[in-house]
């Protein structure tokens, strides 16, 4: 079974990683990819103050670094929980729109299931564009959306 875990480093994502580990009955038969996606910082044309050269590049570098930290933390959690039972864990940091990149990766990697956390924002979150909602509606495979019980 190929399991794609998408994380943004939030407590909701961490809960999804934990739940995936808890539910996985046969880790030795699983191939798990942990991923995080960062978006470019876009230049605003109507900025009231001119930004120094390289400001947006620095923002991109920080976002990529943070995404790498999120992936490393989640992959470590999965490895500690499942490697003793034989799971194969890899990780990847991508750039782009999170929902779109998660769906593309699932399709290219032939994932059997995608695991994501839900921020639980209800109607307004869906109206404003929830990543988990977009993944559920456009994924090429099953999606497990994990809610934080304490949220």
Give pLDDT, residue 40: 74
Q: Kindly list the distances between the CA atom of residue 91 and the CA atoms of 17, 37, 88, 97, 147, in Å, as whole numbers in the listed order.
A: 13, 11, 10, 18, 23
Q: What is the pTM of this model?
A: 0.84
Most confident of 37-51, 58-72, 79-93: 58-72
Give pLDDT, residue 50: 63
As a whole number, mean pLDDT of residues 83-87 equals: 70
Domains of the chain (ranges, CATH numbers): 2-147 (3.40.50.620)
The answer to which of 7-11, 58-62, 73-77, 82-86 has the lowest mean pLDDT is 82-86
Of the pLDDT bands very low, low, confident and very high (cuts 50, 70, 90), residue 15 is very high
Of the pLDDT bands very low, low, confident and very high (cuts 50, 70, 90), residue 122 is low
**CB of 17 closer than 8 Å to CB of 5:** yes
Of the pLDDT bands very low, low, confident and very high (cuts 50, 70, 90), residue 25 is confident
Residue 143: alpha-carbon gap to chain centroid: 12
Average pLDDT in the chain: 85
């Amino acid at each position: 079974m190929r399991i794609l875990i998408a994380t943004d480093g939030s407590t909701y994502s961490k809960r999804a990683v934990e739940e995936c580990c808890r539910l996985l009955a046969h880790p030795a038969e699983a191939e798990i990819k942990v991923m995080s996606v960062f978006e470019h910082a876009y230049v605003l044309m109507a900025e009231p103050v001119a930004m120094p050269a390289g400001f947006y590049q620095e923002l991109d570098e920080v976002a990529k670094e943070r995404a790498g930290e999120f992936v490393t933390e989640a992959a470590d959690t999965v490895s500690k929980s499942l490697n003793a039972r034989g799971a194969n864990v890899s990780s990847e940091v991508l750039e782009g729109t999170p929902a779109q990149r998660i769906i593309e990766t699932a399709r290219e990697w032939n994932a059997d299931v995608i695991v994501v956390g839900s921020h639980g924002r209800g109607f307004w979150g869906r109206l404003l564009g929830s990543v988990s909602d977009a993944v559920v509606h456009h994924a090429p495979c099953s999606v497990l959306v994990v809610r934080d019980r304490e949220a």
